[in-house]
Structure 1
Amino acid sequence: MAKFLVESGAIIDGFTLGECVHRGGMATLWSVTRDDIAAPLLMKIPRISEGEDPAAIVSFEMEQMILPKLEGVHVPHCYAAGDFARHAYVVVKRIPSQTLYRRLGELPLPYEEARLIALKIADALCDLHRQNVIHHDIKPSSIMFRPTGEAVLIDFGLSHHNQLPDLLQEEFRVPYGTAPYMAPERLLGVRDDPRSDLFSLGVLLYFFTTGVRPFGESETMAGMRRRLWRDPYPPRQLRADYPPWLQEIVLRCIEIDPVWRYPTASQLAFELAHPDQIKLTARSERLKRDPLSTVWRRRFNGNPIEPRSKPAVAAQLAASPIVAVAIDTDGSNELNDALRVAAERILKTSPSARLACLNVLKLARVTIDRTLDDEGNNKHVGRLVTLKHWAAPLKLDESRLTAHVLEAVDPAGAILEFADANHVDHIVIGARQSSFARTLLGSTSAKVATEAPCTVTVVRLPSRAMEAGERKETPDDRSMPVI
């Protein structure tokens, strides 16, 4: 690699260096400008002088490979990357904010504020994992927020890309990362499981709501290995007012074995977005750590994390989708039965899927809406009960099922907004029979199928002619998937 002068005023591949804004252990950050780019820019340059950690170079190579392939609001936009053969650097758009690290002096944060922060980070992880990348260094100093509110993940030097060589895995036999946030399986050499990021987010949420790191500050390998068999103190032991739903989320995220954590970041984000519908288990009430008998069994009876052949990141996400079924509680029983059959088929192929039952309480554009029906019952509550009755024959565990009544003027718009905000992977919706109103105003199912950012299955009942004998068909045989 050619040597070049790194100082204010130097020019590297057309970029003019301004001030040094940060000097880290593995790289330095410089503000830079280029005549043809109006956006504020940062250049990251690795530390490669004599005596520097060789892992810093390998880490920078990983970031050079991964960062240009990422896109979206949850990552910094990459403008250029320099080769090690000449000048090693990456140039990204500068985000006008500080990292989450600046909030450490305010801990513990209010529970609601911490929930919203964790939700935004889970949204960012969902987007990242869908791009086949596992971050592996989720911590306060690697998270920023745009002025518009979205979480932005930075520092991809320790990341794993499912479709690129993992240089850290190939060249080193020790795990690299930030010890307090490192998932147990990382200590066993596992780098291809996206649930490792969920563990780190659980540690962060524990820390931000209690002011204490669940596994302490230990940087020694022996200290880190204890998390393979020793669970942390439940948050409710540290704070008596800790909400049970929040402890349920935190302790599930930091389970020792990844199989007991949330299967995907999108399912974690869904729980954070709907805390009132979380299925509480024994985790939520715990006040003590696991007994020593359990700890000894984990430690001396073999590896507590069972070796498994794990699918690729994309395949693992596909096996745990969020499915939304739009149900018209005032519609025909035949169509609602057909929707249930369609949903059951999808859920059988994805045993880790979760189901969101939706109904839209349509509001009038001008008049004042009544909250009670003709019999004096609350419309919203009544529809929630109806949705639960609709789902009962599916016999799903309550942790996989939620019901939502959306109030909106535009039903299709409400369904689309819900799907986008909650990372829904598959929408199942019924098509109404032909009618003058449908012809005149358009179809809700058609709009959803046309504009949804995910898979849509439109379920259509047989026509009257077919029911009369032209062709015998069950309602689910007429289900029509629309992508």
Structure 2
Amino acid sequence: MAGTRLAAGETIDGFTLGARLHAGGMAALWEVTHPDHPGLPMLMKVPRLAAGEDPAAIVGFEMELMILPRLSGPHVPRVVAAAGFERQPYLVMERLPGPSLQARLSALPLGAEEVAAIGARVAEALDSLHRQDVVHLDVKPSNILFRPARDGAGGEAVLVDFGLAHHRLLPDLMQEEFRLPYGSAPYMAPEQAMGVRGEPRSDLFALGAVLYQLATGLLPFGDPQGLRAVRRRLWRDPLPPRLLRPSCPPWLQEIILRCLEVDPARRHPTAAQLAFDLRHPDQVALTERAGRRRRDGWLAALRRRFDTDARPAFRRPSGETGAVRAAPIVAVAVDLAEESAAMAEALRAGLGPIVAALPGARVACINVLRLNRAASDAAEDEAGRNRHVQRLVALKHWAAPLGLPEGRITFHVLEAADPAQALIAYATANRVDHIVLGARAESLRRRLLGSVSGQVAAHAPCTVTVVRPRAGAAGRGAAPAEA
């Protein structure tokens, strides 16, 4: 039974084929049903096996059979069943309602806020993959779907088609069996075009190309035909988005062009940090990228093309999870209303070793402006000053001794009646890796029960470090306790 000879109504291992929904260059997708899974919409993916087909279809399907069942979470389709090449190979997975992002391309360009919202959800999906040791290597609109929206918020992005993916702990059959790089030419990262697989920031480059397309209606490098044309992006930069669409805000151009840097080291360190920028445009540190109105001249481009010493040395990274751990998002909760000089110093002392050991870490300084549950809260203090703005100013003053450059530190005032729940929700939404916060001595004696720090330590989805000033030694360090 060959993948191209299947017909509706046939049964494979109890799965009955319905309509053929898609016939691509590598595989076909069929609607299927099974008596053991009533009511569950499912797809069966079958590789193309006929004589003369691209052998990469077989190898790519082998890769997907190895990788996809090992992945978990809402950002990948749930695998129902799979079979190898001993008989009829197939992969059955849940069928997501709605079309892929490809369907939106007819309505481009999109507004900046919508581009950022879509990009943040896709970046969060990539972060989930990278934390599971997988690089997708084929991020493009047709491979991006979304789960149904819940509670008025957009549903999670779901990435499909793992035939070109790389798993750090599994054999890379694509690398072993083919000398030419595979990928989708309009979105392929420069290092991928040079044969380097396993670099997580290759996915960030591809997402940057998608964001460019959504924001301008055009592809940043066109649709090159052939590897030589793809490699042109190593030395020829794209037109700045704001040249094509002046309404594109500087912060969005900054993010897009950072994603499209030739050197992976100049892109965002992690997908989580990219998602953070897309969700907090007011905190994006603007560089010369944000103000570009034209691309580099031909003299500069030719110099990059022929001066091989000026090109980045693309290296195979040692591992995806290592890159994530080296560039975490660290949140420090600062209680400006109650804080003493000793506690301020203790918090900085607790935070200092973390950011010193991890040069790629992003620090988010957070203060919760507690709202009154029963009465409306005045936006201004007794002197007529905006309380939210005053807290932002105070946070920046608190953080000044840390000496962190713009771009590595951001400032956020959360308005909430429950500070602990606000911090937990912030950490969850922004994929925070580590929270540092202070606790009063009496709270520690009660083992943090009922305290903000205790609730955060118990329920936050990340590492939590609780610090307090050493007794009688204000300003001389912190006594940390991790949860």
The residue that corresponds to 1:225 in the other structure is 231
State the alpha-carbon separation in 2 of the partners of residues 171 and 309 from structure 1. Answer: 17
The residue that corresponds to 2:255 in the other structure is 249
State the alpha-carbon separation in 2 of the partners of residues 71 and 475 from structure 1. Answer: 45
The residue that corresponds to 1:414 in the other structure is 422
Which moves more between the two structures, 370-379 or 87-96? 370-379
Q: State whether residues 356 and 404 of structure 1, in contact with CA within 8 Å, keep that contact through their aligned partners in structure 2.
A: yes
The residue that corresponds to 2:21 in the other structure is 21
State the alpha-carbon separation in 2 of the partners of residues 377 and 208 from structure 1. Answer: 40
1:306 pairs with one of 300, 310, 313: 313
State the alpha-carbon separation in 2 of the partners of residues 340 and 257 from structure 1. Answer: 33
The residue that corresponds to 1:58 in the other structure is 59
Q: Does residue 1:130 correspond to 2:131, yes or no?
A: yes
The residue that corresponds to 2:152 in the other structure is none
SS at match of 2:22: strand
Superimposed CA distance per residue, residues 227-260 of structure 1 (whole angstroms, 9 cap, x where no aligned partner): 1111111112112222111110010000011111
Q: Does residue 1:385 correspond to 2:385, yes or no?
A: no
The residue that corresponds to 1:34 in the other structure is 34
Unaligned runs of 5+ in 2: 150-154
Q: Does residue 1:195 correspond to 2:201, yes or no?
A: yes
Q: How many correspondences in the alignment?
A: 475
Q: State whether residues 419 and 452 of structure 2, in contact with CA within 8 Å, keep that contact through their aligned partners in structure 1.
A: yes
**TM-score, length-normalised on structure 2?**
0.95
Q: By how many angstroms is 1:473 displaced?
A: 9.7
The residue that corresponds to 2:100 in the other structure is 99
State the alpha-carbon separation in 2 of the partners of residues 440 and 69 from structure 1. Answer: 38
State the alpha-carbon separation in 2 of the partners of residues 437 and 136 from structure 1. Answer: 51
Q: Which runs of 4+ in 1 moved over 6 A?
A: 1-5, 435-441
State the alpha-carbon separation in 2 of the partners of residues 84 and 309 from structure 1. Answer: 30
The residue that corresponds to 1:45 in the other structure is 46
State the alpha-carbon separation in 1 of the partners of residues 228 and 447 from structure 2. Answer: 69
1:451 pairs with one of 456, 459, 474: 459
Q: Does residue 1:115 correspond to 2:116, yes or no?
A: yes
Q: By how many angstroms is 1:307 displaced?
A: 3.8
State the alpha-carbon separation in 2 of the partners of residues 326 and 193 from structure 1. Answer: 33
Q: Does residue 1:367 correspond to 2:375, yes or no?
A: yes
Give the residue type in structure 2 aligned to 1:47: R
Q: By how many angstroms is 1:95 displaced?
A: 0.4
Aligned positions of 1:237-386 closer than 5 A: 237-302=243-308, 304-308=311-315, 310-330=317-337, 331-386=339-394
Q: State whether residues 66 and 161 of structure 1, in contact with CA within 8 Å, keep that contact through their aligned partners in structure 2.
A: yes
Cα distance 1:3–1:286, how it changes in 2: closer, same or farther (>3 A)? Answer: closer
State the alpha-carbon separation in 2 of the partners of residues 12 and 475 from structure 1. Answer: 70
The residue that corresponds to 1:89 in the other structure is 90
Give the residue type in structure 1 aligned to 2:401: P
SS at match of 1:461: coil
Q: State whether residues 459 and 476 of structure 1, in contact with CA within 8 Å, keep that contact through their aligned partners in structure 2.
A: no
Give the residue type in structure 2 aligned to 1:462: R
Q: State whether residues 327 and 362 of structure 2, in contact with CA within 8 Å, keep that contact through their aligned partners in structure 1.
A: yes
Q: State whether residues 79 and 92 of structure 1, in contact with CA within 8 Å, keep that contact through their aligned partners in structure 2.
A: yes
Superimposed CA distance per residue, residues 317-348 of structure 1 (whole angstroms, 9 cap, x where no aligned partner): 10001000000002222111111111111000
**TM-score, length-normalised on structure 1?**
0.95
Cα distance 1:174–1:152, how it changes in 2: closer, same or farther (>3 A)? Answer: same
SS at match of 2:175: helix
State the alpha-carbon separation in 2 of the partners of residues 344 and 76 from structure 1. Answer: 40
SS at match of 2:137: coil
State the alpha-carbon separation in 2 of the partners of residues 3 and 93 from structure 1. Answer: 20
Q: By how many angstroms is 1:367 displaced?
A: 1.3
Superimposed CA distance per residue, residues 133-182 of structure 1 (whole angstroms, 9 cap, x where no aligned partner): 11111111001111121111111101111111110001001111110000
Superimposed CA distance per residue, residues 116-144 of structure 1 (whole angstroms, 9 cap, x where no aligned partner): 11111111111111111111111110011
Q: By how many angstroms is 1:435 displaced?
A: 6.2
Identity of aligned residues (%): 55
The residue that corresponds to 2:410 in the other structure is 402
SS at match of 1:416: helix
Q: By how many angstroms is 1:477 displaced?
A: 4.8
State the alpha-carbon separation in 1 of the partners of residues 48 and 251 from structure 2. Answer: 44
Q: State whether residues 2 and 49 of structure 2, in contact with CA within 8 Å, keep that contact through their aligned partners in structure 1.
A: no
Q: State whether residues 2 and 85 of structure 1, in contact with CA within 8 Å, keep that contact through their aligned partners in structure 2.
A: no
Q: State whether residues 203 and 214 of structure 1, in contact with CA within 8 Å, keep that contact through their aligned partners in structure 2.
A: yes
Unaligned runs of 5+ in 1: none
Cα distance 1:119–1:2, how it changes in 2: closer, same or farther (>3 A)? Answer: closer
Q: State whether residues 365 and 395 of structure 2, in contact with CA within 8 Å, keep that contact through their aligned partners in structure 1.
A: yes
Give the residue type in structure 2 aligned to 1:199: F
Give the residue type in structure 1 aligned to 2:26: M
Cα distance 1:24–1:456, how it changes in 2: closer, same or farther (>3 A)? Answer: same
Q: State whether residues 4 and 87 of structure 1, in contact with CA within 8 Å, keep that contact through their aligned partners in structure 2.
A: no
Q: By how many angstroms is 1:8 displaced?
A: 1.6
The residue that corresponds to 1:171 in the other structure is 177
